[in-house]
Each structure stands twice: as C-alpha cells, then as structure tokens.
Structure 1
Amino acid sequence: MLNIGAHLSISKGILACGKEATSIGANTFQFFTRNPRGGKAKEIDSKDTNALLEYMKENNFSKILAHAPYTLNPCSKTEKTREFALETMKDDLRRMEYLPNNLYNFHPGSHVGQGIEKGIELIVNQLNEVLFEDMTTTVLLETMAGKGTEVGSKFQELKEILDGVTLNEKMGVCLDTCHVFDGGYDIKDNLEDVLEEFDKIIGIHKLKAIHLNDSKNFLGCHKDRHEKIGEGGIGLDALVGVINHPKLKDLPFFLETPNDLDGYKSEITLLRENYKF
C-alpha cells in the first residue's frame, strides 16, 4: 500500500485532521505542532488524541508526522532564539507522547555566519538536551535546499549531526524531494546514485519519511520553492520513480505542494494510480 498524505491544519482538532485525510484518499498526514511562525501550542485534548489513535487503527494509517515551527533555529547566533528552539522542542516532544510511536520533523536551522561546524555543534547540543530515554517519537532532520546559511543541505552535514547525538536510535531523516533537488542531488535522472550516496554516508535505515514535492526551480539552484506534482523541474515520472523505488516504497510520503484539499486529493489519486506495489 502507498502510504501517502498531505500537510493539514489541526485547527479543528487532531481527530478532525485524520478524518480530513481519509476524505482526500490519504492514510497519513502531516501537521504543525503550533503556529508555523512560533508561539504557544494549544492545550492537549487527550480525548481527541485517543480518538485519533483509534481512528488510525481502524483506517490502516501509517505513521503521522508532526512538523516543528519554521522559526525553530537551534543553531542561531542569538541566545534568545536558541532558547526558544530548545523550549519549543522540549514541549513538542513531551506533547508527542500523547500520540506515541510517530514522527517529529524539524529544519536543522541556519548558522547565520558562525560556520557550518559551529552550527552542527549547536544542533547536536540541543538534541542531546531534549531527547529522553523513554520517548517513543522518532525525531527527523529534514534535508534542506542550502539557501543562505542553512545547515543540512549535504548528507555529510546530517551525518555529523546524527553521529553527535547520544540517543542516536531516536533519530532519523526526512528527505524532501524539492530540497535535495534544489540542493544539487539529481533525483530526476540519477535517483539510484543519490540513494546509494545517502546509504553510504548516513545509512538508508535512517530514512524514515519523504516530503514529496516538485520544484519550481532547477537542479542545484538552492532556492526551496515547492511546486505541484508534475508541474516543476523534477517532473511526474521522476516522482513516480521515488514512490516506486524498492528502498522507499514502504515509507510514508507527505505532500507539501501549493494546493488546497481538492488539489491534494487529485495528486494522491494520481500517485496511487501510478504506484506499482
């Protein structure tokens, strides 16, 4: 089965989000843990989260993915910004235990002129402070496009972060197709080579989820602008190749394309029609 969903709003509650996912043909979904620009999260409604867990069982859901706010930057040169990242991630991971055994994704951040090694050091320090032994959530580093001073546009940078984390078994990677393409990894014409490189540097077992997006730009542009499936520089054939690759086919895929619900439904239908397993 193709495990696919889209980024949905939980403004009406997490169970409503699950039901909205099934209405568009999805069997998973992604959501922001709080306002994507930051701020305080809503109080947890345990009845709502428990109802979602039951609904997921009844409807054969794959793992769902929580996304940290965009403003979370653990490697900022500003202490206040790093403190916000630390407290936000601590709170998010505590809250994720109401939805056990799922996924939590974050952008590694931008070193803003401190240098890539300093950025990696700060990210590792935060992860070693927020991860805890009995957590059930897997925390994912997202592959980035490399705009500005972003950390994580190269597989080697992600490896260095992972290697520095004490509770390494709690960590994984979310590969964003738009980001890696914009970052210079040719998943359009050389997907096999890209995955072999990922496996050699990080280990394919660490790849836990995929953001399935086309790109408005060209290979190696470092722009990070998502496009609808089949309408960008990567193209439909290449993205169909991603969902059908033997090493990827069982992962959860999450659409972050510029769409409304009907658009997501159309894309999910298209991708299911082209899934071979």
Structure 2
Amino acid sequence: MLNIGCHLSTTKGFEHMGKEALSIGGNTFQFFTRNPRGGKAKEINQKDIDGLLKIMKENNFSQILAHAPYTLNACSGTESTRQFAIETMKDDLERMEYLPNNLYNFHPGSHVKQGVEVGINYIVDMLNQVLKPEQTTTVLLETMAGKGTEVGRTFEEIAEIISKVELKDKMGVCLDTCHIHDGGYDIVNDLDGVLEEFDRVIGLDRLKAIHLNDSKNPINSHKDRHEKIGEGFLGEEAIKRIINHPKLKGIPFFLETPNDIEGYAKEIELLKSLYTLE
C-alpha cells in the first residue's frame, strides 16, 4: 500500500482533516501544530481528537505528521528566539501525546552567520531539554535545501545533530525530495546512490517520513521552491522511482506541492496509478 497524504489546514479541526484526507484518497496527512507564522496553538478538543483517532483506526491510516511553525529557530543568534523554540517544541510535544505514536517534524533552523557548529549545538541543546523518555512521538529533523545559513543542508549535518542527542531513540529524519535535490543530491539520476549515502551517514532506519515535492529549480540551486508532481526538475519518472523504491516501502509520503485540495486529489490519484510496489 502507498501511504500518501498532503498538508491540510487545521481550521476545522482534527476529525475534519481525517475526513478530508479520506475524501482525496489519502491515508495520512500533515498539519501545522499552530499558526506557521505565529506562536499560539488552539486548545485541545478531546471529542475532536477522538473523532480523528476513530477515523485513523477504521481506515488503516499510516502515521500522521505534525509540522512545527516556521518561526521555530533553535539556532537563532537571538536568545529570545531560541527560548521561543524551546517553549514551543516542549508544548507541541506535550500536545502530541493526545495523538500517540505519531511524528513531529521541524526545520533545524538558520545559524545566522554564527557558524554551523554553533547552530548544531543550539539545536542539540533544545532537543536535550524537550525530549522525554516517556514520549511516544518521534521527532524528525527535516533535510534542507541549503539556502542562506540553513542547518541540515547535508546528511552529515543531520547525523551530527542526532549523534549529540541524548534520547536518540526519539529522533528520526524527514527527507524532502525538493530540498535534497536543490541541495545537490542527484535523486533523478542516482536515487540508489543517494539512498546508500543516506544509509551510510545517517541510517535508513532513521528515515520516518518523506515530503514528496517536485522542484521549480535545477539541482544544487539551494532555492527551496516546490513544484507540482511531474512539472518540475525532478519529473514524473523520478517521482515514480522514489515511491516504488523497495528501501522506501511503508514510509509515509506527504505532498507539499503548490495545490488546492482538488489538486492534491489529482496528484494522489496520479501517484497511486504510478505505484507498483506491493
């Protein structure tokens, strides 16, 4: 089975997102834990949560993916911004326990000319403060395109962060196909080689989710501009190879392409038609 979904709005609640995912042919989805450009999260509605959990159980959902707000930058040069990141992730992880055994993804952040090592140490410091032995959520570092002073532009940077985290069993990786392509990894012509490198540097056992996006820009552009499936520099054939690669079997794929809900439904239908791995 192809585990596939897209990014959905939390405006109408969790149960609605579950129904919406089903309506477009998905069996998972991604959502922001709070306003992506702000800080406040909605109050938890247990009835709404229970409605989603029922939908997930009855429809054999894959794990769902919560996404931290873009404003979360654990390696900022500003102490108040770093503190906001710690408090936000701590709160998010506590709230995620209402949806146990799922995934939480965040952008490592930008070191703002402090240097990669300083940035990595700040990220590790945050993770060592917020991760708890009793949590059921797996926290994912997202692979980045490398624009500006982003941390996480290489597999080595991701691996270094994980190596310094005390509760490593709570950590995983979300691989973004647009980001790593724009970051210089040739998943169009050498998908096997890229996955072998990922396995050698990080370990494929850490790969828990994939953001499935085409790219508006050529390889190594460090731009991070997503495109609809088959309309960018990755192309439909490369996307087909990705979703059918045996080493990626069972991993949930999340679309973040520039689409409305009808567009996502068409992409999911296309991807299902390209899927041959059983």
TM-score when normalising by structure 1: 0.99
Matched residue type, 1:56: M
Q: Give, in angstroms, the shift of residue 41 of structure 1.
A: 0.1
Matched residue type, 2:239: L
- Runs of 5+ in structure 1 lacking a partner? none
Aligned counterparts of 2:127 and 2:39: Cα–Cα separation in 1? 20
Q: Are 1:184 and 2:184 an aligned pair?
A: yes
Maintained 8 Å contact 1:49/1:99 = yes
Q: Give, in angstroms, the shift of residue 124 of structure 1.
A: 0.2
Maintained 8 Å contact 1:38/1:72 = no
Aligned counterparts of 1:160 and 1:179: Cα–Cα separation in 2? 19
Matches within 5 A, 1:137-148: 137-148=137-148
Q: Secondary structure at the match of 1:209?
A: strand
Matches within 5 A, 1:1-277: 1-276=1-276, 277=278
- Runs of 5+ in structure 2 lacking a partner? none
Aligned counterparts of 1:219 and 1:39: Cα–Cα separation in 2? 34
Identity of aligned residues (%): 70
Matched residue type, 2:119: G
Matched residue type, 1:169: D
Aligned counterparts of 1:49 and 1:133: Cα–Cα separation in 2? 23
Deviations 1:22-76 (A, max 9, x none): 0000000000000001221000011111121111000110000000000100000
Q: Secondary structure at the match of 2:29?
A: strand
Maintained 8 Å contact 1:74/1:123 = yes
Matched residue type, 1:227: E
Q: Give, in angstroms, the shift of residue 238 of structure 1.
A: 0.3
Q: Give, in angstroms, the shift of residue 172 of structure 1.
A: 0.2
Aligned counterparts of 2:38 and 2:162: Cα–Cα separation in 1? 25
Q: Secondary structure at the match of 1:28?
A: coil
Q: Secondary structure at the match of 1:162?
A: helix
Deviations 1:138-173 (A, max 9, x none): 000000000000000100000000000000000000
Deviations 1:76-131 (A, max 9, x none): 01001001101000000000000000000000000000000000000000000000
Q: Secondary structure at the match of 2:246?
A: coil
Q: Give, in angstroms, the shift of residue 222 of structure 1.
A: 0.1
Maintained 8 Å contact 1:25/1:265 = yes
Q: Secondary structure at the match of 1:208?
A: strand
Q: Give, in angstroms, the shift of residue 249 of structure 1.
A: 2.1
Aligned counterparts of 2:274 and 2:249: Cα–Cα separation in 1? 12
Deviations 1:244-277 (A, max 9, x none): 0001021000000000011000000000011012
Q: Give, in angstroms, the shift of residue 184 of structure 1.
A: 0.3
Q: Secondary structure at the match of 1:139?
A: strand
Aligned counterparts of 2:40 and 2:87: Cα–Cα separation in 1? 11
Maintained 8 Å contact 1:208/1:251 = yes
Report the aligned-residue RMSD: 0.5
Aligned counterparts of 1:39 and 1:202: Cα–Cα separation in 2? 31
Matched residue type, 1:258: P
Aligned counterparts of 1:141 and 1:175: Cα–Cα separation in 2? 8
Maintained 8 Å contact 1:179/1:224 = yes
Matched residue type, 1:271: L
